[in-house]
Structure 1
Amino acid sequence: MRIYAPVGAVGPAAISRAVTGPTLAGKRIGILDNSKPNAGLLLQRLAEGLAARTGATVGLVERKNAALPAPDDLLARLAEAEVVLTGSAD
């Protein structure tokens, strides 16, 4: 019979933290709500929390039909924001 001690050595972390981007202070956050249930509420609250922590503003909220691609004019308006929050799955 062999008995193993459950003791090991902890090595250095295998990954490093991602480099953060520039500050969001004064930047605009856009929201693309795909009209899924509660997507708008989730994205709005996420944007508001992010804005409160960083000094950004929530400047653009757009809704689209989840079954159709976003039209070019909508994508052009969203491109005016420095950060866009989107996506909610079933």
Structure 2
Amino acid sequence: MSALSCLDGEGRLVPPFVACSPWLQGELGFIGPKQRAYDAEFREGAVRIVIEAGKPISEVAEDLGVNPGTLHRWVSRRRRHGSATSDCPVCS
């Protein structure tokens, strides 16, 4: 092992700025859990609750276990492009 690398907790060789840093390893809470993937149906349903029921994003996000910033991005995308799952306008 060179001085420019370290081993992570599972013995894999990684750059020192990741393996040797407690912040980047998540030991001090700077890195959250792995990103979750939400399918299009779930995203559309969450956005529908916010828009049609008029519930606050923070409340819906907490109920569904979604980061409020993520849900806000889906709602904004829906309002801009007509779809919570696409950055492109809906084509006719």
Same topology, TM > 0.5: no
* The structure with more strand, counted as a fraction of residues: 1
TM-score (norm 1): 0.26
TM-score (norm 2): 0.25
Q: Which has the higher contact order (CA 8 A, sep 6+)?
A: 1
Which protein is bigger by CA-based radius of gyration? 1
